[in-house]
Chains A and B, each alone.
Chain A
Amino acid sequence: MSAAEEPIGLPNYLAGHLGVEREPGPDGEVRLLVAPLGFLRTSRMLRDAGARFVTLLVADSPEPSLIGAFALCGDLVVLRAPIENGSISFGSLGAWWSAARWAERELVERHGVRALGMPSGRALTTPDPDVLDPQVHGLDIFSLPYGPVRSGIFESIQFVIETGGENIARLQTRPFFKHRGMEARVVGMRPQQAVHVVERIAGIASVAYACAFSQAVERALAVEVPPRAECWRAIHAELERIASHLDVIAKEAETTALSVGQARFQILKEQTMRLRARLTGSRFGRGVVIPGGVRFDGGIETGELIAELAALERDLRRDRRMFLGTASMVDRLFGGGELKRALVEEYGAVGPLARGSGVSTDTRHERPYGDYRRLGLRVVTMRDGDAMARINVRFGELSESLRILRQSLDHLARLDGKLSVRIAGRSSGAAFGWSEAPQGELAIWVEIRDEVIHRLHVADPSLRNWALFDHAFPKDVLTDFAFIEHSFGLTPAGADR
């Protein structure tokens, strides 16, 4: 299509009117260059146009720049403002856009960037479990620190709850107890080795991470992945989603002490994990997805895998009917942790959480990648915005994932050819890659110089969704806490990196 025929979308409109320059970029990325002073103004225009905030980072390619990423109309708008004289300061986005608040604070605290007019508040990335910072005053109001060491087998994160005993007056979510510096760890590594690190940023979303990272590398270096590899990636990713969603549902059943229900969903999850172990040699699907394709074919015959999945689906259908028919179970979920659609949009939340509040956002559908360009997807949404809606979204997605698996396995039988290609051609480049993790949209920015990773930035769904958790208790009491937390289904490892 020539430039003249291209419809005038907002990015082009911006490029025409604001002294914003459009730069070439890989498919799905609309790269815009603005002057440092124009960054704030253009971001605001993007928000007014309905863009969803994704992330904010400092990049080195092609020159030191501040980069903002926004999801808009099926594109990722990548706004870049060059840094002048080595010091970075920009007008705060977090001051008027809740979605940008944590990303901006992280950038300021970690990279010595200045955000003018940034709302003050406690440090985000250096949590102190002993400082409670109470702000609600009243008779019998007390602060209850929950975490970082919590009851049960959970990852470390702290919630400071201010309560009079029943209602939750204020909640502070404090991530970053587990910050391991994984993004810096890959600097200097070759992509094929770096993928081992990336898979271990959020262990329960290893495949999603490996896919997003590999796609970023492939896009940066203009590498085409063989169709069979794309098909396998989708299969591994959907199995990961199934395991993760079943885990969330089993935990909800555990919280109501619905023991048999809990056991049933744990069994289904364990069966999925074992299937993945037989397919890939790893219960978490690690070591399969690599930049350039996948490493090997699955270790199970396609016919057998289809039969196993059909058996799983039969069991799941029965267990789901019983779960949704158990009043003591669903009564706890109905109306719990209600999130209004406007709030979800203001915070740029993603994944089953956003879909439970009626926001139809799914990376597989919004910016289809790999095999999802061919597969088609029914995005499951619910309108109620409560814990029940989030669980129902997951039930719906379980069926949808099983459908995708059937379709992919059928397609796989008709494909032959290579499983991977060498990462050759260009030796340097930079791009975003993305995938829909079980927790929501995951975006990874990769810069490669002379065949080694120069910079990596991860926009993890858990961190973005957790910013919303402080507001998830409009009319809920302390005993609803566990239900609401599980219905979010997030992982601190991914958030803290």
Chain B
Amino acid sequence: MLEWIARGLSKGRITTRYPGRPEQGPPGYRGAVTVRGTPSAPSALATVCPTGAISVDGGHVRLDRGRCILCGDCVRAAPDWFEFSERYETASRSRTGLLVDPLNGDEKVEPARRVLGEQARALKRSIHVRHIDCGSDGAEEWEIQALWNPFYDIQRLGFFLTAAPRHADVLLVTGGVTAPMRAPLERTWDVMPEPKALVAIGTDACSGGLAASGGLVAGGVGEVLDVDVYVPGSPPAPIAIMHGLLLAVGLLRDGPSA
């Protein structure tokens, strides 16, 4: 056992300084799609997207990050309008905040439910988190689990994992909600004590993603319960999820940190 302790100490600090220090993905990382300000797009541009995240209205392009699966079909087909950015911070406290609209500013912030931190100031450094999978592809679970690894160590920010929904302050939901998971989701949410917050993790949870059009999956968690924070991405990286959690408890405001 002593050998393990020595081994653990020998590697030094590897934990990220986020959110104190901003962080973004490595060069070439596909963190988010941004719309370039080029005017007048052909309406055929909307058909490029497999999930219908792009809409063109009178030559004016709009992108819904809540639907985007970061496949890059648009960036390859229309590099004049779309490009990838390496940013992690894409979470938003409202669904409309995920709409990227070059005319109306990059991110539109709408008043959401009062954040958990405001509701219960004392909770800010002791947030208990519960997770429920409602039909993810399994990758979101890996990324949430990663938050407790030494690289991210979200415990340093006061987030703890709890097994019981009755002890939970925040519910993380992945997947666009399949029929058999609807009732378990509602039950889990119902037994959580107030104040509480719900965070939708991943594009599937935000909008149903690719699976939604088949009819077996609802169009995201928002169709079943009110969502406090949306974290788009397929899957979102651990820092992106951390950003969403910090938004939910009021330790960060909308928009990128720093």
Residues of B within 8 A of A178 (CB): 133-136, 175, 178, 181
A247 and B144 alpha carbons, distance in the complex (Å)? 13
A190 and B146 alpha carbons, distance in the complex (Å)? 34
In the complex, identify which listed stretch (A97-105, A264-272, A368-376) lies at the interface while the others stay far away: A264-272
Contact of A196 with B136 in the complex, beta carbons under 8 Å: no
Given contact pairs A180-B214, A200-B234, A267-B11, A153 touches B141 in the complex (Cβ within 8 A): yes
Residues of B within 8 A of A287 (CB): 30, 70-72
Residues of B within 8 A of A153 (CB): 131, 141, 144-145, 161
Contact of A494 with B138 in the complex, beta carbons under 8 Å: yes
B176-192 to A contact mask, C-beta < 8 Å, 1/0 = 10101101100010000
Contact of A264 with B7 in the complex, beta carbons under 8 Å: yes
Q: Shortest distance in angstroms between A301's beta carbon and chain B's nearest beta carbon?
A: 13
State whether the Cβ of B216 lies closer than 8 Å to any Cβ in chain A.
yes
Given contact pairs A156-B134, A281-B28, A281-B30, A260 touches B5 in the complex (Cβ within 8 A): yes
Q: Number of A residues contacting the other chain (C-beta, 8 Å)?
A: 60
Q: Shortest distance in angstroms between A278's beta carbon and chain B's nearest beta carbon?
A: 5
Contact of A263 with B149 in the complex, beta carbons under 8 Å: yes
A310 and B47 alpha carbons, distance in the complex (Å)? 45
Contact of B4 with A326 in the complex, beta carbons under 8 Å: yes
State whether the Cβ of B40 lies closer than 8 Å to any Cβ in chain A.
no
B1-25 to A contact mask, C-beta < 8 Å, 1/0 = 1011101100100100000000001
Contact of B4 with A258 in the complex, beta carbons under 8 Å: yes
A165-184 to B contact mask, C-beta < 8 Å, 1/0 = 00000000000111111101
Contact of B26 with A202 in the complex, beta carbons under 8 Å: no
Nearest CB in chain A to that of B11: its residue: A267
State whether the Cβ of A151 lies closer than 8 Å to any Cβ in chain B.
yes
Given contact pairs A177-B180, A179-B216, A264-B7, A200 touches B69 in the complex (Cβ within 8 A): yes
Given contact pairs A153-B131, A179-B178, A267 touches B26 in the complex (Cβ within 8 A): no
Residues of A within 8 A of B138 (CB): 155, 202-204, 491-494
Residues of A within 8 A of B183 (CB): 129
A220 and B198 alpha carbons, distance in the complex (Å)? 45
Residues of A within 8 A of B178 (CB): 177-180
Q: Shortest distance in angstroms between B37's beta carbon and chain A's nearest beta carbon?
A: 23
Selected from A128, A278, A326, the residue in CB contact (under 8 A) with B28 is: A278
Contact of A129 with B184 in the complex, beta carbons under 8 Å: yes
A180, A273, A318 pick with most chain B CB within 10 angstroms: A180
Given contact pairs A179-B216, A196-B210, A247-B142, A493 touches B136 in the complex (Cβ within 8 A): yes
Nearest CB in chain B to that of A147: its residue: B184
State whether the Cβ of B102 lies closer than 8 Å to any Cβ in chain A.
no
A151 and B132 alpha carbons, distance in the complex (Å)? 9
State whether the Cβ of B163 lies closer than 8 Å to any Cβ in chain A.
yes
State whether the Cβ of A214 lies closer than 8 Å to any Cβ in chain B.
no
Contact of B26 with A155 in the complex, beta carbons under 8 Å: no
Interface size range on B against A: 35 or more
Nearest CB in chain B to that of A185: its residue: B214
Contact of B210 with A203 in the complex, beta carbons under 8 Å: no
State whether the Cβ of A206 lies closer than 8 Å to any Cβ in chain B.
yes
Residues of B within 8 A of A149 (CB): 132, 165, 184, 188
Residues of A within 8 A of B151 (CB): 266-267, 270
A291-316 to B contact mask, C-beta < 8 Å, 1/0 = 00000000100000000000000000
State whether the Cβ of A232 lies closer than 8 Å to any Cβ in chain B.
no
Contact of B149 with A270 in the complex, beta carbons under 8 Å: yes
B83-103 to A contact mask, C-beta < 8 Å, 1/0 = 010000000000000000000
A285 and B99 alpha carbons, distance in the complex (Å)? 26
A206 and B215 alpha carbons, distance in the complex (Å)? 23
Contact of A203 with B8 in the complex, beta carbons under 8 Å: no
Contact of A155 with B69 in the complex, beta carbons under 8 Å: no
Given contact pairs A127-B180, A176-B180, A193-B73, A155 touches B8 in the complex (Cβ within 8 A): no
State whether the Cβ of B252 lies closer than 8 Å to any Cβ in chain A.
no
Q: Shortest distance in angstroms between B25's beta carbon and chain A's nearest beta carbon?
A: 7
Contact of A263 with B84 in the complex, beta carbons under 8 Å: no
A112-155 to B contact mask, C-beta < 8 Å, 1/0 = 00000000000000111100000000000000000011011111
Nearest CB in chain A to that of B236: its residue: A283
Residues of B within 8 A of A176 (CB): 180
State whether the Cβ of B150 lies closer than 8 Å to any Cβ in chain A.
yes
State whether the Cβ of B137 lies closer than 8 Å to any Cβ in chain A.
yes
Contact of B180 with A263 in the complex, beta carbons under 8 Å: no
Residues of B within 8 A of A184 (CB): 214
Contact of A148 with B141 in the complex, beta carbons under 8 Å: no
State whether the Cβ of B213 lies closer than 8 Å to any Cβ in chain A.
yes
State whether the Cβ of A322 lies closer than 8 Å to any Cβ in chain B.
yes
Residues of B within 8 A of A182 (CB): 210-211, 214
Contact of B7 with A260 in the complex, beta carbons under 8 Å: yes
State whether the Cβ of B254 lies closer than 8 Å to any Cβ in chain A.
no
A319 and B4 alpha carbons, distance in the complex (Å)? 9
State whether the Cβ of B27 lies closer than 8 Å to any Cβ in chain A.
yes
A475-492 to B contact mask, C-beta < 8 Å, 1/0 = 000000000000000011
CB-defined A-B contacts under 8 Å, sample of 28: A129-B184, A148-B180, A149-B184, A153-B144, A154-B133, A155-B133, A156-B133, A156-B181, A156-B184, A177-B135, A178-B136, A178-B178, A179-B178, A179-B180, A182-B211, A196-B69, A261-B4, A264-B4, A273-B146, A274-B26, A282-B70, A283-B143, A286-B70, A286-B71, A287-B70, A287-B71, A322-B4, A494-B138
Known: A156-B132, A206-B139. 20 other contacts (CB 8 A): A148-B184, A153-B145, A154-B133, A155-B138, A156-B181, A178-B175, A180-B176, A181-B214, A185-B210, A196-B210, A200-B69, A260-B4, A260-B5, A264-B7, A266-B150, A270-B146, A270-B151, A281-B28, A286-B234, A287-B70
Q: 8 smallest A-B Cβ distances: which pairs?
A: A203-B139, A151-B163, A203-B137, A493-B138, A181-B214, A266-B149, A260-B4, A180-B211
